Structure 1
Amino acid sequence: MRKKTAYIGCLGMIGIISTEFGVIGVLPQIADHYQVTIDKAGVLLSAFALVIALTGPFMTLLASGFDRKKVMLTAIAIFLITGIVSSFGPPFWLLLTVRILPAFLQPVYISTAIAAAVASGDKKHEHQLMGIVLGGIAIAMVTTVPLATYLAGIFNWKASFMVQTVVSAMAVFGIMKMLPPMPVTARKSYGSQLQILKQSSFLISTAMNFFMIAAWFSTYSYFADYLGKVKHMDEKMISYMLFLFGVTGIVSNWISGKMLSKSVSKTTAVFLSGTIFVPFALQYSGGNTWMTILVIAIWGFLYAPCFLNASAYMISAAPNALEFANSLATSFGNLGVSVGTIVSGWFIATSGIATPPWVGMCFGILSLLMIGLRTFLENKRGPVKCYS
């Protein structure tokens, strides 16, 4: 199993996640700076995700015939430009605009990086290679995301975008110098890839992905504001919690990669059960700081593999259209990010900051129902061909 390509893909993933989710820890500061409400500041996250959801599959189909190295390099270069402009603290409309631009190529990068990594190894290591690439999400959670929040507490929110700029620059250098050209030798027709949209198992898997990501991001999008106002933590403590959240996530990504090789559906359901456990645990931890810290550690462990599990679950229903299935997983996952953030923001505006975990639980239950429905249908008529 050759892992070099997977690790380079992981580096780029860290740059992407630093840009997309690095803003989560500084949303309260951004809201104060621009004199907007926290739910309106949340548009910086939800709009990014919505663009991915609406354009991801089309952009991935268009890019499917190009050299994978060039595609990855172009995508990360745009993330770099976004970080540079954002770090100057432009007007809110411009900040929103430059954050939206790289969103068009985010799913292209992810699906291309995963396809390149999987192509570099053998079939039995597919999920482990995917885990390495998507492990960049958890690594960003433990390094750049909390670091951005920590520096914002010392300086100001603009410092968080400087962190994103540095990471994106490193990713550009890594892809440029360490990856060989990767031309696509056997391009699949658009029609053959679109066939997966006729499969009921794949459509149910898509719904599961959407509900699962919406469940987690209903709460995670407002992580800093929730911990600050409900658990009464300061910015420094919140950055430590983000760090803890990421540490447990790195471990769980590795464990999930191993578990997926044995059962995709059971692994997905096990980690998804956290969307039901976490709201009750946060509620009953009350003002006990140590109990809250323990809950956050478990929360991070159960949350972190959600993108890996979602991709694996959808690919298992469409094994012959890996890149397109991956792009749809990314798009509908980001639609989940957008909807979860918007719906939770509405509940915050109407009922208070303590509501997001319960919103997440409702989405989580819907997601578990989708897993049950697909399992029922496959037991009735037989599993998807090549399903693993």
Structure 2
Amino acid sequence: MSVPMSRADPVVPPGAPGRVSVIRKSPRTRFRAPGSRRRSRWSDVRAHGRRAPVPAARGPCRNPGVRVGILATFLIVTGHFSAYTFVSPALQKLSGIDERLVGPLLFGFGPAGMAGNFAAGAALARRTHRTVLIIAVSLAAAMPLFLLLGRTSVGGAVLLIVWGLAYGGVSVGLQTWMIKAAPDAVEAASSLWVAVFNLAIGLGALVGGVIVDTLTLQGVLWLGGACALAAALAIRSARGDENLR
């Protein structure tokens, strides 16, 4: 079998002194053993019965920041609606406010919530964790304080406005928390947050009704404050998360 040689290869006569029996391959020549075939990494996988590793998908629930955000959402919203569902009888029976003034006071709850929403939005851009923690602590204080400072008409009206200011930042605050906690899974984390938020609304109203029927009206205010306090403790536990600062 003759081997083609490059034009640059020197011609050495057979039997010449110092002749080296090394054949230089031309750059244009490729050698392949008869019957051989090129093997890819996939043929190696088939030959050894192994599969290429597939990276495991990391769901949002495996993210500690997302878990805290979901827990805080569940606690705050459940506690809020367990108490706010019965805010009208609370204003009348605990604060002594006339029934005709309850409507205008509840109307004032709306603008207070809007103001809290804008204030929280501005603060979240600088300090996400601290802002959400302040919201939770404010709610934990406002609802039980009805039993102490809300025994007068003025006290009940002021606490209702404070309550509205604090709760106004809940939606924007916790949604911002979820987005920052899971920057690589924003859609999944946001979908989970919305589902838990809506579930907590119905559950809070249901639990509040059961407590008012079986216990007392004051019980829903204690429950709302306790849920907000538990949420504040959960939020504080995530203070080391770099994405939430």
Fold equivalence (TM over 0.5): yes
State the structure with bigger RCO (CA 8 A, min sep 6), 1 or 2: 2
Deviation at 1:327, TM superposition (A): 2.1
Match of 2:143 in 1: 279
Q: Among 249, 257, 265, which residue is 2:113 paired with?
A: 249
Alpha-carbon distance, 1:235 to partner? 4.3
The corresponding residue for 2:84 is 220
Question: What is aligned with 2:94?
Answer: 230
State the structure with more CA Rg: 2
Report the equivalent of 2:63: 199
8 A contact 1:214–1:339 mirrored in 2? yes
- Which stretch has the larger CA shift, 297-306 or 232-241? 232-241
Counterpart of 1:372 (choices 218, 236, 242) is: 236
Q: Which amino acid aligns with 2:169?
A: P
1:21 match:
none
Cross-structure match for 2:158: 294
Displacement of 1:276 in angstroms is 2.2
Counterpart residue number, 1:261: 125
Distance 2:99 2:153 in 1: 15
Matches of 1:220 and 1:318 in 2, distance apart?
A: 31
CA RMSD after TM alignment: 2.1
Contact between 2:150 and 2:159, CA under 8 Å: does it hold in 1?
A: no
> TM-score normalized by structure 2?
0.70
State the percentage of identical aligned residues: 22
Counterparts of 1:232 and 1:326, CA distance in 2: 41
Alignment map for 1:150-169 (pairs within 5 Å): none
255-264 vs 235-244, which moves further: 235-244
1:312 aligns with 2:185: no
- Residues 278 and 357 in structure 1, CA contact (< 8 A), matched pair in contact too: no
| Distance apart, 1:225 and its partner CA | 2.9
State the partner residue of 1:332: 196
Instruction: Return 323-332 or 222-231, whichever deviates more.
Output: 222-231
Aligned partner of 2:162: which letter?
Answer: I
Aligned to 1:285, what secondary structure does the other structure show? coil
1:70 equivalent in structure 2: none
Change (3 A) 1:255 1:286: closer
CA contact (8 A) 1:211 1:366 kept: yes
Distance (whole Å) between structure 1 residues aligned to residue 204 and residue 213 of structure 2: 14
How far does residue 279 in structure 1 lie from its aligned partner after superposition?
3.0
Does the C-alpha gap of structure 1 residues 287 and 195 become closer, same or farther in structure 2, counting only changes over 3 Å?
A: closer
8 Å contact kept, 1:229–1:353: no
Alignment of 1:73-152 (within 5 A): none
- Structure-1-length-normalised TM-score: 0.46
Contact 1:248/1:300, CA 8 A, preserved across alignment: yes
Q: Whose helix fraction is larger, Structure 1's or Structure 2's?
A: 1
Deviation of residue 362 (structure 1)? 1.2
Aligned length: 190
Among residues 331, 353, 358, which one is paired with 2:222 in the alignment? 358
CA contact (8 A) 2:143 2:222 kept: yes
Residue in structure 2 matched with residue 14 of structure 1 by the alignment: none
Q: CA deviation at 1:234?
A: 4.4
Q: Please tell me whether the aligned partners of residues 268 and 309 of structure 1 are also in contact (alpha carbons under 8 angstroms).
A: yes
Q: Counterpart of 1:362 in structure 2: which amino acid?
A: A
Displacement after TM superposition at 1:266 (Å)? 0.4
